[in-house]
Amino acid sequence: MQENVVILDIDYVTYEEKPVIRLFSKKGDENIILIDDTFEPYLYVVSDDVEECISEIEDNIDVVCVEKVIKKDFQIESEFIKVTFKHPQELAKNRDALRDLESVIQIREFDIPFYRRYLMDRDVIPMTEVTAVGEELETFMDLDSTKQDIKIIKLTERLERKKEYPQNFRILSFDLEVRNPHGMPDSAEDEIIMIGVASNFGVNQVISTKTNSEDRDDFVNQVSTEKEMIEEFVKIIKDNNVDIIVGYNSDNFDFPYLKDRAKILDVDLDIGMDESDVKFIRRGYSNAASFKGLIHVDLYLVMRRYMTLDRYTLERVYYELFGEEKIDVPGDRIWEFWDNEGEELDTLFDYSLDDVVSTLKIAEQTLPLNLELTRIIGQPLFDVSRMATGQQAEWFLVKQAYFDGEVVPNKQGSNFADRASAEDNEGGYVREPEKGLHENLVQFDFRSLYPSIIISKNISPDVMTLGKVEDEDDYNISPEHGIKFKKSPQGFIPSVIDKILQERFRIKRQMKASDDPQERIALDVQQQAIKRLANTMYGIYGFPRFRWYSFECAKAITSWGRQYIKSSIKKAEEYGFYAIYADTDGFYAKYKKE
DNA sequence: CAGAAACGGGG
DNA sequence: GTGTACGTTTCTG
């Protein structure tokens, strides 16, 4: 059978000791789970005696396949040994043993999560539409199409991607209010008093055990118990086939709280596509709340990247985006507003709805960009929405490297000694502003200064030399430190930036040519996403825990940057201007004469 | 002053 | 889940 579906999410399960990829997808209102058991985990081994190494691996390690392959390593074609395992956990278990074998110099690409490897190798891009060809199964492990509202397709062919991107996802925002007489609420004792929901499909309400005054807008959905509140919330999500659920700090407050209360009240929080519960995924020191086939985006994390503020409260973020104040109820008095009823209770209902409507508005403002980033990076929206920009750039590069036949560099050690030894790079040139109120200023700035320098000077570790060279004319040599970059061939990272900037110009041209306003907006978001990614690439060199970390490259970029801005200021001075303030890639200047 | 611990968001 | 935050402010000795 054949179906056109939109890929939302991915995971893998173990069936008969083999890993099986599951792609959570939708076709309109229909939930479709694609199953693929044809992908196996692998890594690469570097050895100076390939034949000897292959037999040593075969003798000592339980592997599916060991083979010699030709891949590029910093653009140089090299022999690698590709070692394929039966299961990702086998790979993890044997990683150290493999590294310790005598004939093994180095192992590579051993720390790429299985589902990410699948997305890259099979060129499957989340949030795009694909044609799936396969056979329909009635059940697969705990998936049961006769009991659950799902269709299961076991893939028999590679997925084929459609050109057009789906734009209309069903988005629902939610927010809890909790009775908290002792300061911050404790889920063991303090009941949920309101669950606000807002959506782009017409459902906007506050579920509560109380209701607001009769003369007010009737947006309260009154139920009799806290348990029914949660059940009603679950029902709304299921009945409306939500694609993306958003909250504000919902990873660390709303979902953990909801889960605790649901457990106490014996309610199933089974809102996953396969009716599974919320799962908390450890992410460093905090958690991320995750569902199967229902994408949860915590906007707090998104907004911290999206704009630069000193605080990221919902109130502040909303004000910065829309210039409007939100209804304010002091957190420590919410329980009083609830207990006092009357006017204060009405205010609390308004506050609850306002919170969730604001959250939805922020989602509608920021999700299009994140959807585009998801498609460019090629990793799930759930992950991309939680990644630091440097991580986004890195995963994008990992995917590009795969297409170029490159084996990606390993990460440096992440222990304290390595971090402490990381030197501080001198940043951009700053001229402190001249005090006073200035008039008739001119402004100058470079467009994408650092990405431009990376391309024009070909700054990339694979073409870098620190030692002596035969003919200096073949190299770009950085000011201050004399770091040399071969002029050709083009380095890996410059080539990637070059490619995406050309793609950006192509989109901008297409945008200008289009007279469909909807299409123009969509294209504008695409080019913005690319611009953000290009501007992040400099950071790839500056942080020791990134795969392409190169202190020399980072130093070279900023030193050329300082040279350019200083020489521009000097040039301006020759024409009778003088700079009253400069920072990194631009300056403000006054004309000397009146 | 250096290094450790806390903090953010949420109610 | 083949990856385990993170940059800044405040506290402590």
Residue percentage of chain A with pLDDT more than 90: 80
Give the mean pLDDT of A323-340: 92
Exposed / middle / buried, residue A163 (Cβ in 10 Å: 0-12, 13-18, 19+): exposed
pLDDT value, residue A104: 95
pLDDT at A532 > cutoff 80: yes
Please state whether strand B lies within 7 Å of residue A287 at its CB atom.
no
Nearest DNA or RNA nucleotide to A379 (CA to C1'): C3
Give the mean pLDDT of A332-350: 94
pLDDT at A413 > cutoff 70: no
**Mean pLDDT estimate for chain A:** 92
Confidence label for A160 from pLDDT (cuts 50, 70 and 90): very high
CA–C1' A421–C13 (A) = 26
pLDDT value, residue A284: 77
Contacts of A378 (CB under 8 A, 6+ apart): A119, A120, A123, A124, A125, A126, A395, A396, A399
* DSSP characters over A277-325: PPEEEEETTEEEEE-SSSEEEEHHHHHHHHS--S---HHHHHHHHH--P
pLDDT value, residue A420: 42
Report, in ranges, which bases of strand C sit under 7 Å from a protein C-beta: 1-7
Contact A550, A556 (CB under 8 A): no
Q: Which residue has the higher pLDDT, A347 or A184?
A: A347
Q: List the single range of A97-106, A166-175, A306-315 with lowest mean pLDDT.
A: A306-315
> Which residue from A480, A390, A469, A467 is spatially nearest to A429, judged by alpha carbons?
A480
Please state whether strand B lies within 7 Å of residue A176 at its CB atom.
yes
Nearest DNA or RNA nucleotide to A315 (CA to C1'): B9
Confidence label for A423 from pLDDT (cuts 50, 70 and 90): low
**Token digits of residue A493:** 């990272």
pLDDT value, residue A412: 76
Confidence label for A432 from pLDDT (cuts 50, 70 and 90): confident
Confidence label for A429 from pLDDT (cuts 50, 70 and 90): confident
Rounded to an integer, what distance in angstroms lies between the CA atom of residue A483 and that of residue A464?
A: 7
CA–C1' A585–B8 (A) = 30
pLDDT at A587 > cutoff 60: yes
Which letter, b or e, does each residue of A342-374 get, where b requires 16 or more Cβ atoms within 10 Å of its Cβ?
eebbbbbbbbbbbbbbbbbbbbeebbbbbbbbb
Rounded to an integer, what distance in angstroms lies between the CA atom of residue A213 and that of residue A217?
A: 9
Rounded to an integer, what distance in angstroms lies between the CA atom of residue A128 and that of residue A378?
A: 10
pLDDT value, residue A556: 94
CA–C1' A367–B7 (A) = 27
A146: left (phi over 0), alpha (psi -120 to 50) or beta: alpha
pLDDT value, residue A594: 63
pLDDT at A29 > cutoff 70: yes
Report, in ranges, which bases of strand B sit under 7 Å from a protein C-beta: 8-11
Confidence label for A161 from pLDDT (cuts 50, 70 and 90): very high
Exposed / middle / buried, residue A225 (Cβ in 10 Å: 0-12, 13-18, 19+): exposed
The answer, yes or no, to whether the previous bond of A544 is cis (omega within 30 of 0) is no
Task: Report the amino acid identity of residue A436.
Answer: G
**Token digits of residue A68:** 């010699």
Please state whether strand B lies within 7 Å of residue A313 at its CB atom.
yes
Q: Which residue has the higher pLDDT, A86 or A546?
A: A86
Please state whether strand C lies within 7 Å of residue A298 at its CB atom.
no
Rounded to an integer, what distance in angstroms lies between the CA atom of residue A232 and that of residue A225?
A: 11
Contact A303, A366 (CB under 8 A): yes
pLDDT at A216 > cutoff 90: no
pLDDT value, residue A566: 95
Please state whether strand B lies within 7 Å of residue A248 at its CB atom.
yes
Please state whether strand B lies within 7 Å of residue A510 at its CB atom.
no
Which letter, b or e, does each residue of A490-509 get, where b requires 16 or more Cβ atoms within 10 Å of its Cβ?
bbbbbbbbbebbeebeebbe
- Dump pLDDT digits (tens) for A372-409: 999 999 999 999 999 988 899 999 999 999 999 999 99
pLDDT at A192 > cutoff 60: yes
Confidence label for A307 from pLDDT (cuts 50, 70 and 90): confident
Confidence label for A215 from pLDDT (cuts 50, 70 and 90): confident
A502 φ/ψ angles, rounded to the nearest 5 degrees: -65, -40
Supply angle C-alpha A98, A38, A32, rounded to 5: 130
- Dump pLDDT digits (tens) for A64-115: 999 999 999 999 999 999 999 999 999 999 999 999 999 999 999 999 999 9
- Dump pLDDT digits (tens) for A560-580: 999 999 999 999 999 999 999
pTM equals 0.93
> Which residue from A354, A361, A367, A368 is spatially nearest to A321, judged by alpha carbons?
A361
Q: List the single range of A51-60, A77-86, A241-250, A518-527 with lowest mean pLDDT.
A: A518-527
Question: CB-side exposure of A77: number of CA atoms within 13 Å?
Answer: 3
pLDDT at A539 > cutoff 50: yes
CA–C1' A55–B6 (A) = 53
CA–C1' A417–C2 (A) = 25
pLDDT at A424 > cutoff 80: no
pLDDT value, residue A322: 92
Nearest DNA or RNA nucleotide to A178 (CA to C1'): B11
